[in-house]
Structure 1
Amino acid sequence: MGTIRDRPLFTDTYANFDDFSIENENTYVFGTSVEERSSHIEKWKGKIGNVIFVSIFNQESNSISVEIEGNVKILALRSGEQLRNMWNDLKYKTVYLDITGLSHHIWAPLLKASLTTCTQVMVVYVEPGDYRFSAAPKEGEIFDLSERITGISPIPGFVSLKEPKEEVCFVPLLGFEGTRFAYLIEQVQPPGERILPIIGVPGFRPEYPFFAYHGNQQPLIRSHAWQNVRFAIANCPFSLYYILEDIATDYPGHFIKIAPIGVIIGLEQGQNHRFK
């Protein structure tokens, strides 16, 4: 485990989106969803000068439509070459990737491709102001978030086609929906002693970690995974990565499966704990 000095956190937090600014001659990539918090770009981009805005729409399971300076392209999410070419074609190689309105399976392969082609990449995310409590709450469903679970599928660009020969560690990144966690345990059937949940602490709001425990109470108890919970700063991906490094150190030679909300990625541990 590294010292705090060896593990800098590069995340900047702003109380208001208006406090955040972009310098000229940069690129801003964004998408929109049904959530109002993803619509900030339309209100904001008219105030910014020499910045190229790249809009991502038609977010399908295997493809996206991208508009760059009036030109529309359809890109296959499983084609690393197409995604890299998109980044290579940009005039400005310092990039802001706004993932607020993008699904996991879209921003993850985009980010992966950008890291090999762009000069600098910064990720932007607008936190939800609040969640709506379910009108008919059930066990594991506190908030009105998902209508249904569509299944498990690998994020494009991160799939491993070979069966792991090593022992497996299962690392779910817990949200509020215990039904998702229970479904993953049922489908993946990981060994209980190597289920290592991660909860965001502190949360976007002080009470959110408690909601995460409450929503996932039953699968945590049944699998005994409550004994193995680890904590990462909720709004900092670097904190999460350091926790994954610790897990890789604690379980040398293990095949690590990481499950963000609704999807699962197989990651293999390489030398020096580099995850592929």
Structure 2
Amino acid sequence: MDRLDEPLFTDEIYRRQFAKTGGTFIFGNGVDEDRASVASEWHATTNFTDVKFISIDAQGNESVLVTEVDAASAGLQLFLHDADDIVEYLQSLPGPITLDITALAHRTWAPLLRAAVIGEITISLIYLEPETYSSSRTISEDGIYDLSEKIGGIEPIPGFARLGPGSTDEILVPMIGFEGTRLNHILSRTETPPDRIVPIVGVPGFRPEYSFYAHSRNRSVIEANFVYRQVQFAKANCPFDAFLTLSEVHAWNPHEGIRVAPIGTKPHAVGAVLYAISRGNLVEIVYDHPVRSKRRSKGEARLCVYDITGFVNTSVFRFDDTNGLSGHEDS
């Protein structure tokens, strides 16, 4: 498959360079990271003109509270499993929509992204890379950075429960990061044979050394039973490169299902979610819902802007609408 040129859909800038006129800006609130706080001073700059700001608060397992900033009206509770309700809400907002996923949990942004795609709502995502991550107090093979307090447990992301059982021959694609414990947890639950494990490493990483850290913290799995022979690569901050890598792996056995574990970078997780939306029941998202550590990152680096609507209108994404967009649960 020919690679799409990611600058066509990804723009790497700095936060001060981002500008928006009209439409809606949705962001997460209440996370204690420098990069995750959308400062009111930034909103008040001339970079934003006639923009409606929506804050997502109280991110729960089943619902979130969405509140219009500086409005007198009370917040609205959105149920994450109710795709129709989310589509209706997004359609009620002035477009185009920009969704800042930096401070949002996977179980929050993924249902919103899916609703925008199935509702044909013009949307882009933004993600602010950290300047650095907080170092772990106890450095081991499992982790050099203090990113998660604990693993919540493997269960479907809202809207992404597969309908029907999968095959025992399915490939498992873990999109790995710095936490080897998470990969070992998923492998222990899925009991995947080594010859069916195809890890994806973020290359290049947010920083040059990050790719080596990801490999070293998952070394026990990668080096066991020749799994290293199956390692694939995708740019760490590009969901579209991740999508294309998943497509290439899936092409090895296109009629079988594929399980994807997005336990690395958030942009890779976006690529995995887009692939699951596109391919429907051929894809299962395996996610462990970690509890984030407090102050897990410091500072901010590049702001990545992802043209989701531009990508989903390509033939690469819409290879089969009947199997793809209707292949997951709806409420």
Common fold: TM-score over 0.5: yes
Asked if 1 retains the 8 angstrom alpha-carbon contact of 2:36 and 2:102, the reply is yes
**Residues 57/7 of structure 1: CA separation in 2 closer, same or farther (3 Å cut):** closer
Counterpart code for 1:39: S
Asked if 2 retains the 8 angstrom alpha-carbon contact of 1:167 and 1:253, the reply is no
1:167-215 CA distance string (max 9 Å, x none): 2110111010001001100011112111111111111100000000011
For residue 50 of structure 1, what is the aligned residue in structure 2?
Answer: 50
Higher relative contact order (CA 8 A, sep 6+): 2
For residue 241 of structure 1, what is the aligned residue in structure 2?
Answer: 243
For residue 86 of structure 1, what is the aligned residue in structure 2?
Answer: 89
- Structure-to-structure mapping, 1:257-272, within 5 angstroms: 257-261=259-263, 268-269=281-282, 272=319
Query: TM-score when scaled to structure 1?
Result: 0.91
Compute the RMSD of aligned alpha carbons: 2.3
Counterpart code for 1:53: F
Asked if 2 retains the 8 angstrom alpha-carbon contact of 1:256 and 1:268, the reply is no
For residue 151 of structure 1, the aligned residue among 150, 153, 156 is: 153
Residue ranges of structure 1 left out of the alignment (5+ in a row):
none
Asked if 2 retains the 8 angstrom alpha-carbon contact of 1:66 and 1:73, the reply is yes
- Structure-to-structure mapping, 1:112-123, within 5 angstroms: 112-117=114-119, 119-123=121-125
Counterpart code for 2:64: I
C-alpha deviation, 1:8, in angstroms: 6.8
- Structure-to-structure mapping, 1:67-78, within 5 angstroms: 67-68=67-68, 69=71, 70-78=73-81
For residue 212 of structure 2, what is the aligned residue in structure 1?
Answer: 210
C-alpha deviation, 1:224, in angstroms: 3.3
- Structure-to-structure mapping, 1:35-184, within 5 angstroms: 35-47=33-45, 48-68=48-68, 69=71, 70-90=73-93, 92-117=94-119, 119-165=121-167, 167-184=169-186
C-alpha deviation, 1:222, in angstroms: 2.8
Taking the aligned partners of 2:186 and 2:231, their CA distance within structure 1 comes to: 16
Residue ranges of structure 2 left out of the alignment (5+ in a row):
284-317
How many residue pairs end up in the alignment? 272
C-alpha deviation, 1:272, in angstroms: 4.0
1:73-125 CA distance string (max 9 Å, x none): 111111111111110211x1201010000011110110110123354211000
**Residues 50/118 of structure 1: CA separation in 2 closer, same or farther (3 Å cut):** farther
Identity within the alignment, %? 36
Taking the aligned partners of 1:5 and 1:40, their CA distance within structure 2 comes to: 31
Whether 1:254 aligns to 2:256 is: yes
Taking the aligned partners of 2:34 and 2:179, their CA distance within structure 1 comes to: 21
